[in-house]
Structure 1
Amino acid sequence: MEKSKMKIDRKPELEFVEYKTFEAVPSKTVEGASQRIIAQIPDTNVATRILELEAGTDTSPDGVQVHDFWEELYIIEGSLIDLRLNEEFTAGMVACRPPGMEHGPWKSPNGCRIFEVRYYADQKKEEHEFVNHTTFEAQPFSKVKSLSERIIASDPTTGVATRILHNGPGTDTSPNGVQVHDFWEELYIIEGSLIDLRLNEEFTAGMVACRPPGMEHGPWKSPDGCKIFEVRYYSTEQ
């Protein structure tokens, strides 16, 4: 079959939607663990999801995890303990795991909720197990003075990055116009809200988005400020 006629399975397009819209599906192997699948490549474990661990959850039945895809995460609330490293990771921490990186198992004495983006990509982002996002310097950028970013991990060849995007109160990105990228962009609103000036819709904390290459978005206005975790990548879908 010619490449142009091949059916390519990929994650669906989603502009910001409340993550609780998606059903929590209990794990088949770990009691107290569940996931809400936001977007997924069909018939694979490559998905964007909210991972929820109830108080007392222990993922030891799943053992140490190793994947052939990238995995990037933001701890929304609660904490978890890496049973191999004997380290506790808490809300506000971020991770960037290349294919082949070992991680887990975990225990969450008080419960934990995590935003997680899995994808295939040929890139060289920095490896990070959970580290507080404030470790990374906030840097102003673009034409909008009240807009800043903390770069968590970036690919030196393409420039695509994982970052915390911060909109100060009153931010208006109209000078940047409507945005269109040739890469994927997946996001979680950590706090605050922003208004899409084209759609005249307000998006708030707890909402998630999955934007394929070519999807138009923005410009935005954030009257009270907004903080967003954002993963950008060029996908090599499997």
Structure 2
Amino acid sequence: MSYDPNTQTRAMSLGTATSQGNALSASSQRVLRNTYALLGLTLAFSAGVAGVSMSMGLPHPGMILTLIGFFGLSFLISKTANSGLGVLAVFALTGFMGYTLGPILSSVLSLPNGSAIVTNALGTTAVAFLGLSAIALTTKRDFSFMGKFLFIGVLVAFALGLGAIFFEMPALSLAVSGMFVLLMSGMILYETSRIVNGGETNYILATTSLFVSIYNMFVSLLAIFGLGGNNE
């Protein structure tokens, strides 16, 4: 059997190409590292603000002020995302959302199984985030095709949520919460995939997207488990 050096060269080239294809680029690694670092800090900060809000018994600002604060600070983040002010804007948004979370947690904890509801919602959110992130990181599949579907889905769920509030329809509210859990799961997968594949190069915007997804998933799970507890 003759030895063909070209065969070995091609095999080595193929192995190198495969290894490079499975590895994240330096840019993606940097964005991913900065995103997770900032995400961890903002989650801790938001939880601290929620705790202060609960201890002080602060009332919920209401739907209108919540929307104004959320969209206003989100706009500020988009305008300052390429500067140091963007980090401060992210903390402002996550702190504000932590403040709105405080009264929600106080309400849930007042239920008979309030502590269990919060624990279950927090654990489910953590498992979902870690699992979905692992899928995007290990498979490195491009989930950008989900973008339009998720955007339309969030708009529909938001409109249905407003209808559930105005018409006081608990069943519809529960269904909307379920929709948001699924949509936010898709958003986590979508955003992490964008970072991995180089579609998102700004860690401030990536952090904001992931934080909002985690927040909405947690609040939706609180509603689902809370209504389930009430039904019992």
- TM-score of the superposed pair, with normalisation by structure 1: 0.22
Q: Which has the higher contact order (CA 8 A, sep 6+)?
A: 2
Q: Larger Rg: 1 or 2? A: 2
